[in-house]
Copies of this chain bind each other. A is one copy, B any other.
């Protein structure tokens, strides 16, 4: 990770492929570097020239007499390997490859890319790109990209898998004055990946907020375990498109990789405390909010407005976003009463009335800011006849800069409110045109605070303890023996039963009885029981009775045993019969637990791609598909996370004894889910798992139909 400094803080840079045409990419990069006041040494490289754009030009990197730390390459694809080779020999430690025409154009490009990776590795060169816009590092006065704009300096580190997404965010940043420490276009991620960058930024004191547009996250499980390790996590805001199948197809044709399921990603977002953005401007506003404001200490929002309507709209949005309308203290109300006209409402939302001058706004904000019941303030302004737009902005700036509570102005409108907004942005106050955006940002900031304040230390321990058992299943050899190349194989029932016992999953007791006495001994403490024929000779005949339910007394058992024994003997023609007895579970609710592995069986190792096993837990039985009422958790999940996944379902209300129903064995359900998680860790060869139903009674949660599939 340390060696990423060669890319972001190099003491010298060679720009390979500078041309005499100032419009060509190489020249643009060189001039961007100069204009960004880069303080290190700069070497233009082009074999054709001795001098270029007034600077001495070298024929190759190795010809440069001094040390070159970073090379930026924009020569045609076929020449890139030679440049890397040469740079390596000259001792370069980093390369940014702008050039396109690699993996993204097909097989031949892929081969070219692999050769470059190999060459760079041999020389210890770290690669950014290829096929990227470059990197801007305002915190280091370095713009080594062909971007038309250079963002202001700030504390947001931004990475993007799409160059166009970069330019769109950059354009917004130029308009709204958002500053960046790093602005990195990932390109094909041939070497430097999002995981490593995120780790680097988590440890860089110049960075407060990390933002990323990622079309796929290849090493998901690794990213999560990396986030798990961070002691004081910085907000990581991620926008990942590809929810619809249509978009997944588009991503795949764009990046050549497969996008995982949306549920897997959502579970990862939750487990990793990732802040999710769902649109381009959301991404931007989230970075602005996290960068410019402190986190709210709670979810109680104070609203100040000069109009009733927008106050109502904001109220709806606050509630929809899971926040609260703060209950103002009596002291606050009293103080507000003194500064506001008689018609004004001093109840939250506080209506300062349409004729409010700037001072009435600032008086109200100052009073509300002191109220301990208020964690953040939304200041809503509509451009009415006497509204002092710029003056109000000015006074808000004064208060917002001194407060440790987020104070977010929302100036609703267009032309007239623009100068007010500009003034707010110029003074780094997160401001909005739109109630929805402002409240969404507050909600996500608060959720992130909750994540930061959760017992992450304990969760980390729990996860590590779980993964200590990786691949240590008692029956590993037997499971491995079933694997067939790439095929998906169903584990045999007997093996599944043994593993179920190993991981502590409750399954119905059963025996194969050879006599009625054996049957009675088994059934003694288990009534009611079920009795079945085991022989194939009659298992599928519908015209003979081979299944007896609801056997709840010795009398019934003896009668059924005698009948079934006779049936079996007749069917097999043998003089002995084996009868299968099973506990009959009278369930009050049926639960589904399923699991799918994202990635291969090496997903929990350093090299493993994918997010790991996703557990789905929820309503089972015939309504499983009808309601798709599921909570999700990624392995390794803490007990609390599994419990949360279950509690997030509707069927949990039934387990919990909603509306006078009996309370069922929720703890046993969670224990079953933990058993299944353990199974995935002991046997990561398990690719999917389907338990439907888990029968739940007041005391137990019994798995009656486990199906386990494995694949290498």
Spell out A's residues near B (CB within 8 Å): 28, 105, 146-149, 160-165, 167-168, 170-176, 213, 215, 241-247, 250-251, 253-255, 279-281, 306-313, 315-316, 318-320, 325, 343, 345, 347, 349, 354, 382-385, 412-418, 433-436, 622-623, 625-627, 629, 650-651, 653-654, 658-659, 661
Contacts and interface: CB of A to CB of B under 8 A. Distances in A.
Which 9 A/B pairs are nearest by Cβ-Cβ distance? A164-B307, A162-B309, A175-B414, A171-B413, A244-B319, A172-B414, A164-B382, A175-B415, A247-B315
A417 B171 contact: yes
A385 B147 contact: yes
A653 B416 CA distance: 52
A312 B167 contact: no
Contacts of A413: 167-168, 170-172
Contacts of A384: 163-164, 167
Given A164-B306, A164-B354, A435-B279, A251 B312 contact: yes
Nearest to A660: B622
A241 B172 contact: no
Q: Which of A167, A174, A307, A320 has the most CB of B within 10 A?
A: A167
A626 B241 CA distance: 32
Contacts of A319: 243-247
Given A247-B319, A414-B174, A626-B658, A310 B382 contact: no
Nearest to A28: B385
Contact of A167 (B167, B245, B325, B383): B383
Nearest to A324: B246
Contact of A250 (B246, B312, B382, B627): B312
Q: Which of A412, A622, A653 has the most CB of B within 10 A?
A: A412
Contacts of A171: 383, 412-417
Given A105-B343, A171-B413, A246-B325, A308 B164 contact: yes
Contacts of A175: 414-415, 418
A149 B416 CA distance: 10
Contacts of A382: 164-165, 167-168
Nearest to A23: B386
Nearest to A651: B626
A426 B319 CA distance: 38
Contacts of A306: 164
A309 B164 contact: yes
B310 A280 contact: yes
A627 B650 contact: yes
A625 B659 contact: yes
A311 B250 contact: yes
Contacts of A311: 250, 254
Given A307-B165, A315-B246, A385-B146, A280 B434 contact: yes
Contacts of A243: 316, 319-320
Nearest to A589: B622
Contacts of A310: 162, 164-165, 168, 280
Q: How many copies does the complex hold?
A: 2
A446 B413 CA distance: 27
A170 B383 CA distance: 9
A309 B213 CA distance: 9
A254 to B, nearest CB: 4
Say whether chain A's binding surface is mostly helix, strand, loop, or mixed.
helix
A386 B151 CA distance: 18
Given A279-B436, A320-B243, A434-B281, A148 B312 contact: no
Contacts of A343: 105
22 contacts: A148-B383, A161-B309, A164-B306, A165-B310, A167-B307, A167-B383, A171-B383, A171-B412, A171-B413, A171-B416, A172-B413, A174-B414, A175-B418, A176-B414, A241-B316, A246-B316, A254-B309, A279-B313, A280-B434, A281-B434, A622-B654, A622-B659
B253 A347 contact: yes
A184 to B, nearest CB: 15
A178 to B, nearest CB: 10
A667 B626 CA distance: 20
Nearest to A351: B254
Contacts of A661: 622
A247 to B, nearest CB: 4
B416 A174 contact: yes
B167 A215 contact: no
A623 to B, nearest CB: 8
B168 A383 contact: yes
A708 B383 CA distance: 51
A181 to B, nearest CB: 20
Contacts of A626: 650-651, 653-654, 658
A312 B629 contact: no
A163 B625 CA distance: 48
Contact of A629 (B250, B434, B627): B627
A254 B308 contact: yes
A312 B215 contact: yes
A280 B312 contact: no
Nearest to A384: B167
A611 to B, nearest CB: 19
Given A163-B307, A309-B161, A653-B626, A412 B250 contact: no
A213 to B, nearest CB: 7
Contacts of A418: 175
A114 to B, nearest CB: 20
B162 A434 contact: no
A497 B712 CA distance: 65
A416 B172 CA distance: 9
Contacts of A316: 241-244, 246-247
A158 to B, nearest CB: 14
Nearest to A382: B164
A161 B307 CA distance: 11
Given A28-B385, A279-B313, 16 more contacts: A149-B416, A163-B384, A165-B307, A174-B416, A175-B414, A175-B415, A175-B418, A215-B309, A243-B319, A244-B318, A246-B318, A246-B319, A246-B325, A254-B308, A280-B412, A626-B650
Contacts of A320: 243-244
Contacts of A312: 215, 241-242, 247, 250-251, 254
Nearest to A146: B385
